[in-house]
Amino acid sequence: MVISGIGQSAIGRQLDRSGFQLTIDAILAAVADAGLSVDDLDGLAMFPGGGAANLPGYANGNLYEVQDALRITPRWRQGFVEGMVLPFFGPALAVASGQARHAVIWRTVKEGSAARKAGGRPAYGATKPAAEGPLAWLLPVGMLSPVCQVAPFAARYMHEFGVTREQLAWIPVTQRAHAALNPDAVYTKPLTVEEYLSSRMISSPICLYDCDVPCDGATAIIVSAVETAPDLRSPVRIEAVAGQVEGRPSWDQWEDMGRVGYAAAQAMWARTSLGPADVDVAQLYDGFTIECVWWLEALGFCGPGEAGAFVEGGTRIGLSGELPLNTWGGQLSGGRLHAGFGHVAEAVRQLRGEAGPRQVAGAEVAALGNVGGFEAGAALLTRW
């Protein structure tokens, strides 16, 4: 399977257009990017499906409305929440089994506008009257946000390995420098380690600059059958993808909070002859800085507990370093397009050589890590 198209709407802190219009913008852009027409699409998927809406602006639109508006006759369609792994995983399975030839998946967020309207980033689950499932143990005691839920992972990791905030600061600081080269990024003004260290704490040890930026925007990704490659403008190969998870599936019950993503990473590496040393550029999920740390270690770019030293100074993860990291700014500066959609779009741009001033020279292999914990996914994309 290949990724044949990526498309994005305008992206901004607040956009004055509906999520549905942003969705259509992204899908049409992805279709044009692939060299296809809308009529070629026969698979449809979105995240989240089923109206999963734990945060205002988190869920947008409706698969059937998109299907109807674009007059698509899908042979396969699906909404994802649990186990999406990476955005292209489900569509790739549909294409691999012959159920679809060109399947599009999209993710639209209006969290920037929603946060503005609410006067700040709202509580996770505030859209529901009572906390259900695993959240029933978290929200009532005051773990009211993913920040609070992930913070104990960061605390435990830093405790076990002696990693410091001074070291981890280099992830958001370096990514901000990358964002300055991305005209679509939400935040582009330079960020310093000192500004990071003096920023307000949200839920210790996670500070403001460890949190991604709620924004408005849509991303669409098309997966196509490999035999359609001659019809495609610039396909990118899906070399390997896996989503195995080794821990208990809730934020407070994960057994070993110092180690996250290892099962997915190992399952992914087992599906390719390539290894960490072959990777030219990494787009690793960064809802929070610590999630990037998980993937740096789980994917084997450094050893357990070594990410602090690895990122310190920003040289290794800079654009001309050994592992350029989140070259679009990541969700920390580029915007919370969420669930790996922004990361996949950038990986495809880099492998095509279409990343403009932030292009990593000779990028042929891109690593992806998505989310972490019980929704982990790891993948490798390669140049066609």
Residues that bind another protein (CB under 8 A): 120-126, 128-132, 134, 136-145, 147-148, 151-153, 155-156, 159, 200-206, 252-253, 257
Q: How far is the CB of 199 from another protein (least distance, A)?
A: 11
Residue (63 or 257) nearer to another protein, CB:
257
Residue (261 or 324) nearer to another protein, CB:
261
108 φ, ψ (degrees, to nearest 5): -125, 130
Residue (55 or 185) nearer to another protein, CB:
55
Residue (134 or 321) nearer to another protein, CB:
134
Q: How far is the CB of 128 from another protein (least distance, A)?
A: 8
301 exposed, middle or buried (CB, 10 Å; 0-12, 13-18, 19+)? buried
Give the angle subtended at the CA of 373 by the CAs of 372 and 379, to the nearest 5°: 40
Q: How far is the CB of 298 from another protein (least distance, A)?
A: 19
Query: Chain centroid to CA 183: how far?
Result: 19
Q: How far is the CB of 23 from another protein (least distance, A)?
A: 28
Q: How far is the CB of 52 from another protein (least distance, A)?
A: 16
Q: In degrees to the nearest 10, what's the CA dihedral of 54, 60, 61, 63? A: -70
Q: How far is the CB of 126 from another protein (least distance, A)?
A: 7
Dihedral angle sign, alpha carbons of residues 295, 300, 301, 305: positive
What is the distance between the alpha carbons of residues 267 and 276, in angstroms, rounded to a whole number?
13
Residue (88 or 153) nearer to another protein, CB:
153
Q: How far is the CB of 127 from another protein (least distance, A)?
A: 10
Q: How far is the CB of 221 from another protein (least distance, A)?
A: 32
Task: Kindly report each contact of residues 157-160 with a partner whose C-beta sits within 8 Å and lies 24 or more positions away, as own/partner.
Answer: 157/257, 157/258, 157/290, 157/293, 157/305, 158/205, 160/258, 160/305
Residue (133 or 357) nearer to another protein, CB:
133
Residue (138 or 299) nearer to another protein, CB:
138
Q: How far is the CB of 17 from another protein (least distance, A)?
A: 28
Residue 274's contacts (CB-CB under 8 Å, 6 or more residues apart) are: 239, 240, 365, 380, 382
Which uninterrupted H or E stretch holds 202? strand 201-203
Residue (69 or 141) nearer to another protein, CB:
141
Contact in structure between 45 and 79 (CB atoms under 8 Å): yes
Residue (69 or 201) nearer to another protein, CB:
201
Q: How far is the CB of 15 from another protein (least distance, A)?
A: 24
Residue (188 or 203) nearer to another protein, CB:
203
Orientation of helix 63-70 relative to helix 19-34, angle to 10°: 60
Contact in structure between 74 and 21 (CB atoms under 8 Å): no
Task: Count the Cβ atoms, other than its own, within 10 Å of residue 183.
Answer: 10
Contact in structure between 107 and 11 (CB atoms under 8 Å): no
Closest CA relative to residue 215, chosen from 121, 112, 117, 341: 112
Contact in structure between 343 and 330 (CB atoms under 8 Å): yes
Give the angle subtended at the CA of 298 by the CAs of 297 and 301, to the nearest 5°: 50
What is the distance between the alpha carbons of residues 231 and 38, in angstroms, rounded to a whole number?
14
